[in-house]
Structure 1
């Protein structure tokens, strides 16, 4: 969003409650409270270092951003700190690499506090009442959208990371309780699914040489 002039956008202010993490363990936003209302603010991961250096939980900040349709989210283009420093999204550093965090198998069960979204408003997970951040892809999120609304019971198992900013789990299985977990489908087939032969393709493959010969005849 570096092409957008921040001053042309609406401004919202509030107190930073906590940072949010993406599946790589990078800070990609924060929860901001204003008059007892929680606002999810998305910031691009390449702003993590500058954002966490100048902003701390408990700070009052202002955000210039856009609100995607159908999502309780503010996608920040600029964040102004309590000291008046403006942190602006000038676009990603293409040479930047993901941080190297230790991953481990993790499972969690609890109550959803807030749904979490990508910068374009796509559903991408949930923040649980205990502070755990659960992330999944948008296609997987569509499968369990009813479990990602506030006050829903949610149990997940997957790949987890713990950082000084919190705990995030990339869910592989989900359900309303641990005893009812189901594997999440993926938007794209994995290598095994992509190349495994299927019985119904047998006849087509069997005559493939003939079709190729006809095509070049």
Structure 2
């Protein structure tokens, strides 16, 4: 259950255009049109059943949400339907499991419409103009941010799922075209002292105390 009271947050309204999927084929958000702008809304996967039961493409919706820093995203705490019904994040069921879908090797190529983010604002993929959802691990996504930016040309290959809300591909390879795909593998940052010793040269220390003197008096 979300600790934030949704009524304490301002509501952003718009028209739901399409749902967004995670790599398991679950709805974990949607795109809505607010004025002349596309707005990406993140919702936890455990809200899928209630969301898809009460709202559909073309419906007017309201969202009580927080906005992560550095990401064009609303992380929803509650969604309000046109009839005023409030769908609140009450947390996942303990016995909840991922849905069972047939996974297939898939590829896609097209223009990025929106960058996709996780609830904390971490880059996690892209939505193509043809509606294909591309998902990439957050660490791998940091290596190819330019390919995931709006209007970029993106090609991917990976594990795909077809659902009633569209298709999603968990990318294993990516590039500007299908002919130039590269394996996605996050590079660990090099240590600060990669070309030298981690510590400075060891110095020999002299005795802890000065030389002993004869204190006998003449």
Report the TM range for the smaller structure's normalisation.
0.7 to 0.9
Q: Which moved more, 1:123-132 or 1:1-10?
A: 1-10
TM-score by length of 2: 0.84
Between the aligned partners of 2:63 and 2:109, the Cα distance in structure 1 is: 32
State the match for 1:165 in structure 2.
165
1:116 to 2:138 alignment: no
State the match for 2:35 in structure 1.
35
Between the aligned partners of 1:186 and 1:94, the Cα distance in structure 2 is: 32
State the match for 1:22 in structure 2.
22
Q: Which moved more, 1:91-100 or 1:160-169?
A: 91-100
Between the aligned partners of 1:159 and 1:83, the Cα distance in structure 2 is: 38
CA change 1:187–1:49 in 2 (3 A) is: farther
Any conservation in 1 of the 2:20–2:30 contact (CA below 8 Å)?
yes
State the match for 2:156 in structure 1.
156
Deviations 1:103-153 (A, max 9, x none): 000000000000000000000000001000000110000011110100000
Task: Report deviation, 1:34.
Answer: 1.2
State the match for 1:65 in structure 2.
65
Between the aligned partners of 1:121 and 1:164, the Cα distance in structure 2 is: 27
Task: Pick the structure with greater CA Rg.
Answer: 2
State the match for 2:2 in structure 1.
2
Between the aligned partners of 2:50 and 2:156, the Cα distance in structure 1 is: 32
Task: Report deviation, 1:187.
Answer: 7.8
Any conservation in 2 of the 1:10–1:66 contact (CA below 8 Å)?
no
Between the aligned partners of 2:151 and 2:29, the Cα distance in structure 1 is: 22
Task: Report deviation, 1:186.
Answer: 4.7
State the match for 1:143 in structure 2.
143
Between the aligned partners of 1:187 and 1:34, the Cα distance in structure 2 is: 38
Unaligned segments of structure 1, at least 5 residues: 189-217
Any conservation in 1 of the 2:16–2:58 contact (CA below 8 Å)?
yes
TM-score by length of 1: 0.85
Between the aligned partners of 2:117 and 2:10, the Cα distance in structure 1 is: 20
Between the aligned partners of 1:94 and 1:182, the Cα distance in structure 2 is: 38
SS of aligned partner of 1:49: helix
Between the aligned partners of 1:115 and 1:10, the Cα distance in structure 2 is: 24
SS of aligned partner of 2:102: coil
Between the aligned partners of 2:10 and 2:35, the Cα distance in structure 1 is: 18
Between the aligned partners of 1:29 and 1:23, the Cα distance in structure 2 is: 13
SS of aligned partner of 1:52: helix
Return the structure number with greater helix share.
1
Q: How many residue pairs are counted as aligned between the two chains?
A: 188
